[in-house]
Chains A and B, each alone.
Chain A
Amino acid sequence: KAGVTQTPRYLIKTRGQQVTLSCSPISGHRSVSWYQQTPGQGLQFLFEYFSETQRNKGNFPGRFSGRQFSNSRSEMNVSTLELGDSALYLCASSLGGVGTPSDTQYFGPGTRLTVL
């Protein structure tokens, strides 16, 4: 079974630009979550989508947005990039049933975003 894939793996952008990251979940998984990883803040939850609806959201500004398509693939968009947005962005997929905390999240390799 193919794992979670993320594209692109590396991105270099300049301040003020916008960027779109893509995530393809494991086949059959309906939940996709996004996390930001930085040396200073560690792993922080951005948002989670299930059946094309945002189900949970972390404490990030509105410049960070996402969506999910009918095939469960998800995209994350960051507008008006700032230097502090440089990070590894990780996508995770799971079956996504409500009230199933044991449901395992499987992570992709991440997209390394550098903002200059």
Chain B
Amino acid sequence: GNSVTQMEGPVTLSEEAFLTINCTYTATGYPSLFWYVQYPGEGLQLLLKATKADDKGSNKGFEATYRKETTSFHLEKGSVQVSDSAVYFCALRSNFGNEKLTFGTGTRLTIIP
């Protein structure tokens, strides 16, 4: 079945540091890949997505590239801010008409001023 393996947290960085959160996946076919973010007390917000190999999703300074050869979708940001503190989830959905999202375990990110 489909699965997502995500970098274990928590991750603590200083403001303006470079961020990488690793995500690898196992899936049949050609899934779509997503990063969602969850702020305290809230639901999930879509951060970015990529739907085919070599696609790059980007939003709010965050980027992730769909790498089929390494089955990865690592999240990066060049300079993090305190407001980026949240839990980040990598997820996939297969292309076989199933609406279910398969999530990673989440990575808690804390940015220190």
A-to-B contact residues, CB < 8 Å: 4, 6, 31, 33, 35, 42-43, 45, 48, 50, 55-56, 58, 90, 92, 94, 96, 98-99, 101-110
Contact = CB atoms under 8 A, between A and B. Distances in A.
A56 B43 contact: no
A98 B94 CA distance: 11
Looking at chain A's contact residues, is the secondary structure mostly helix, strand, loop, or mixed?
A: strand
Contacts, number: 63
A56 B98 CA distance: 7
Looking at chain B's contact residues, is the secondary structure mostly helix, strand, loop, or mixed?
A: loop
Contact of B99 (A43, A105, A109): A105
Interface stretch (B12-20, B67-75, B78-86, B100-108): B100-108
Interface residues of B, number: 27
Nearest to A48: B99
26 contacts: A4-B43, A6-B43, A33-B100, A33-B101, A42-B103, A42-B104, A43-B106, A45-B101, A50-B99, A90-B44, A92-B44, A98-B97, A99-B95, A99-B96, A101-B30, A101-B32, A101-B94, A101-B95, A102-B32, A102-B49, A102-B51, A106-B46, A107-B36, A107-B44, A109-B42, A109-B43
